[in-house]
Amino acid sequence: MSYETIAKIINKIVRIFFILLGYIATIRTLFACFGKSKQLPPIKSDLLKISATQLAVKIRRKEVKSVDVIEAYINRIKDVNPMINAVVDQRFAEAMDEAVRADLLVEAAENAEEFANSKPLLGVPITVKETIPVKGLSNNAARSRIASNIANEDADCIQLLRKHGAIPLLVSNIPELCLYLETNNAYIGRTNNPYNTTRTSGGSSGGEAALIGSGASLLGVGSDVAGSIRLPSMFCGIFGHKPTPGFVSNNGHIPSSKDPMWHYYFTIGPLARYAEDLPLILRCMISEKSHLQRLSLDSNVNVTRVKVYYMYGEGPDSTLQDEPNFQMKKAIKTAVDIMGINFQCTTTKVDLSYFKNSFALTMLILKTKGIENVYQKDDENPDDYNAWRILEIMFKKFTFQNKASLSGILFGPLQSLINAMPEVMIEKLVKRLEYTRGKLLELLGNDGVLIYPTFSNEATFHDRLSGQILNISYCTLFNVLGFPVTQCHVRYTREGLPVGVQIVAAPEKDRLSLAVAEAISTVTGGWLSPDEVKASQY
């Protein structure tokens, strides 16, 4: 059986499983199309338009006070959250107290610049995806089988960020157990895109992306196993980074898995409004000195020497991926032209045939054992469910006795079918994956990046993404390959919706993709607030 045949089989399986979501999406979209977007209020404080890198310097130099910064962000959150619906739980009072202590620390220091190394984020606010524990706040991942869960301690990465001076403000909305491309659940409801509230913010880090895109957050902590940082970042006009696996601790995240492949596919990473802040927050999320040395995030990258390859997706003859639309292709061309014209990089269009039908390769993620799901009855046996249990949960869902999400319900039978695939098919997928990884390593080497679409289109109306589930392969391919990717905002459409590109580098060459994203943003101007984008349309 050829790889192409396997791809066609997987195509049919996945499309069958998402046909129900497609019907529901069609009905809901009819209402969304006639809805009117709510315009977010203009940003009132200039403190909200300063990058984290610059803000930390100003706080250390006593040019601004952390307490004023935190208050400005809290006020902005209160202004926009009724429209974007991104907040799950907050710690505003505690954050204000911590800001006061940060200011006192600066005042008492003989030379506050010493904090540039020990506490480079001193007094700077962050927000966190609700699946990542922040002590005292909700950490339930919108699970239908558990009513609530409060974190008893911070996740490893949050401990490190606090150690480096960051101040957590809140935890943000997600789909149940991160199992969908849109952010919606039975507890908090749906998160809206800040540039058009009738559109999706993406998932699963959609709450984070919406807050940052609206100017209500500066830095965010998200997670990514299938584009969950990159897709929302693109839809909401910000920057995000999926690091090389194994450098940022995943401990504490819900869901998780004891399967060794989990920590290869799944990574926690940063989101930011300004590209220059991504290396800063990423450094602060890594504890081991050897890891920091291997990534060399402090090294200056001469972007003029970076080889830029680009590709417009798998092409029109792909079985498992839609071709990117005009806006996405224009974003690719804009990014490539900037690197070629403004930075004199060598740019080369490539047609990587081994990328063809990459969604089939991403199905290997579903082979991961022990991922928490809506079917399990206890914490210890996530894989202990069968066809009867699946039917039971489905019956309860459709008789309104269960809060489980439809995407979460579909995960069980889909994973069961993938696990039931003949071993010879899995072996072919693994061999194809190894071949693809080797060829991409050979292409990129130590000085190359690949500019690649993030998705087939910009943010859709709510509930439309179920019919485009196969297009997640634009992102998920790099999870199964284990390559670092920086999501780079590039431009806005005529309708005022953000579009961007993925910048892919070889493993442990995160600094290259981060540097290229920052270079592009210096030319494009980077992020604009929703009201600025709206004003530019007239």
> What kind and span of H or E run contains 471?
none
214 noted as active-site residue: no
Q: Under 8 Å CB-to-CB from 364, ≥6 apart: which residues?
A: 426, 429, 430, 433, 480
Is-contact 208 217, C-beta < 8 A?
Answer: yes
The tokens for 78 are 């209160």
What would the two tokens of residue 442 be? 């050979």
Residue of 204, 205, 456, 521 marked active site: 204
CB atoms within 10 A of CB 256: 18
Sign of CA dihedral 285, 291, 293, 294: negative
Q: For residue 204, what is the DSSP state? A: S
**129 noted as active-site residue:** yes
Q: Write out the two tokens for 287.
A: 């504890």
Q: Which of 66, 223, 228, 473 is catalytic?
A: 228
Sheet with strand 448-453: strands edge to edge:
87-90, 167-172, 125-129, 219-224, 267-272, 239-242, 485-492, 498-505, 448-453, 307-310, 347-349
* 480 touches 433 (CB < 8 A): yes
Measured distance CA(194)–CA(209) in Å, rounded: 9
Of 45, 454, 41, 66, give the one whose Cα is nearest residue 214: 41
Upstream peptide bond of 416 is cis (omega within 30 degrees of 0): no
Q: What is the DSSP letter of 461?
A: B
3 state SS of 402: coil
Which residue in 119, 129, 307, 509 is the catalytic one?
129
Look up 204 and say whether it is catalytic: yes
Catalytic sites, residue numbers: 129, 204, 228
